Every structure is written in structure tokens, then in C-alpha cells.
Amino acid sequence: MIDRAEDAEGNLEKHRVCEEFEESLRRLAMNMLRVVAGAGEPYRLLRDMHRCVLSAQSYRECHNELPTSFQIADLLNCTRNLEGLATFTSLERPPPKEPRDYELAAAATEIRQGSLRVVAAQWGDSRTVLINAERLFENGIRRHEKARERLNAAYLGRRGDKK
């Protein structure tokens, strides 16, 4: 019979190891993206990579497997900012502090995803991947402009009602 205290302690250790891996992977990704953009700390990249590898090894020792591709992709997913917004309609959602809605946030996310994919495609040699990345980026810009126009029209319409 397994002691509950030992089981709880094992779960705490697994949780701690998961958090350590997540933090090291995010730190590496964050610094790498900033370096690519001309900022960041290039001198820390190798140290961040080493810390990430060590935390992945600890994860494997604790869980008897490495994190799955799905877990890693989910951890680095840049659409997490949309999770709370997508569950409500415009009428159900409380008014934001600033005029920003799901469409605007989704468009901004699409622009970010497109720009990251463009950079990655420029490093590779696939013209098709680059064209698709540029299309995603441009679609995000158009979507953002339409959402901004709609919000501005709605704002001006509300202002007109108050006069």
C-alpha cells in the first residue's frame, strides 16, 4: 500500500519539475526571439539552452519520458491571450477598459504568428513556406484594419447618441 504522504510528495516533485522545464523553455524561447528581433541577450543563449536541456533531463527522470510535442507546442503557443475572449459573444462579454475585442486581439495574434513564420521561413530555403507566412501576416493586417474600423465606427456611433 502506497503511503498518501509519499504519493503527494511525488506529485509535488513532478509538478516542480514540470514548472522548472516550462520556465526554462519559455526563457530560452523569449530570449531567442528577442535576439532575432535585435534585442535580447545573445551571450545568454547557450546558458539558456543548457538550462533547458538539464530541466528536460530532470523531467525525463521524474516522469520516465520527455515532454510530448503537444506539451511543448502548447507551452509556446502564442494564441493563449485569446482563450478567455473566444468563449463569449460580443453582447455577453463585459465592455473592455479599452476598445479591444476578440477580432482585434485575434488579428494582432495572427500578425505576430505571421511575422515569426516569415523570419523562420527566411532562414530556410522553402519559397512556399515563405509565401504562406507572408500571406498569414498580410491577412492579419487586413483583419486588424477591419476590426479597428468596426470599433471606431461603433465608438463614433455611441458618441453620436450622447449628443
Give the residue with greater pLDDT, 76 vs 1: 76
> How would residue 160 be classed by pLDDT, with cut points 50, 70 and 90?
low
- Average the pLDDT over 78-103 and give the result: 57
Q: Is 78 strand, coil or helix?
A: coil
Q: Looking at residue 125, what is its pLDDT?
A: 79
Instruction: Give yes or no for residue 77 having a pLDDT over 90.
Output: no
The residues spanned by each domain of the chain are 4-75, 80-162
Cell of 69: 510535442
Q: How many other CB atoms sit within 10 Å of the CB of residue 48?
A: 20
Distance from C-alpha of 107 to C-alpha of 81, rounded to nearest angstrom: 12
Q: Which amino acid is at 1?
A: M
Mean pLDDT of the chain: 84
Instruction: Give yes or no for residue 163 having a pLDDT over 60.
Output: no
Least confident range from 37-41, 63-67, 128-132: namely: 37-41
Instruction: Give yes or no for residue 94 having a pLDDT over 80.
Output: no
Q: Looking at residue 50, what is its pLDDT?
A: 98
Cell of 123: 532562414
Give the residue with greater pLDDT, 21 vs 2: 21
The answer to whether the predicted template modeling score (pTM) of the entire model surpasses 0.75 is: no
- Average the pLDDT over 79-94 and give the result: 54
Q: Looking at residue 89, what is its pLDDT?
A: 46
**Residues 32-64: pLDDT tens digits?**
999 988 898 999 999 999 999 999 999 999 999
Contacts of 24 (CB under 8 A, 6+ apart): 48, 51, 52, 54, 55
